[in-house]
Amino acid sequence: MISEKMQERLNKAIKLEFDSSYLYLSMAAYCESIAFDGFARWMRAQSAEEWGHGMRVYEYLGDQQARVVLHGIDQPKREWSSVVEVFEETLTHEKKVTAAYHDLMAYAQETKDYATQSFLQWFIHEQVEEEATAAGILDKLRMVKDRPQGLLYMDSHVGKREFSAPTAASSD
């Protein structure tokens, strides 16, 4: 069983993941509004993945006989100046999530919560992938700049990402 303080921190992680999901869904809506359906598809898939991450923490708390306390989801931003700005914010946001999981891991280590340390390892590895993916797309978008052919190619390429329903099982 985990401490009450760790339980509180993990409940905040659920909120962070659900806020992330909602932010990416808002980004998808923005991309759709400017006719970039591929980027929108990528963002919908990212939204579903983040929801799955939140559910993974939710289930861990249940496995630890801890109380899940859901916090309100923040109103996400709705407008961006470009797809480049969307992915700049994506990378910035993923760095924020990475820092949050590093803080959770540090606390788990400090309190010798070995089960939670083991659980958090997956998130630490996942965040490396999340940041690398966002940075890779952003790098390519910066190369393309505002050239229509390049943006259309990127939209098509990024839109090939697989999309699945948000469940904890699909968050692997």
Q: Is residue 71 part of a domain?
A: yes
Query: By percentage, how much of the chain surpasses pLDDT 90?
Result: 91
For the cut 90, the answer to whether the pLDDT of residue 62 exceeds it is yes
Residue 22's pLDDT is what?
A: 98
Say how many domains are in the chain: 1
pLDDT interval class at 161 (50, 70, 90)? confident
Q: Report H helices in 34-82.
A: 37-63
- Domain ranges, residue 142: 4-161
Q: CATH code at 41?
A: 1.20.1260.10
Q: Is residue 103 part of a domain?
A: yes
40-49, 78-87, 153-162: which range is least confident on average? 153-162
Q: How high does pLDDT run on average in the chain?
A: 94
Q: Is residue 167 part of a domain?
A: no
Its pTM stands at 0.92
Q: Is residue 149 part of a domain?
A: yes
Please identify which residue in the block is written with the tokens 């190369």: 143
Task: Show the tokens assigned to 9.
Answer: 């921190």
Q: Is residue 144 part of a domain?
A: yes
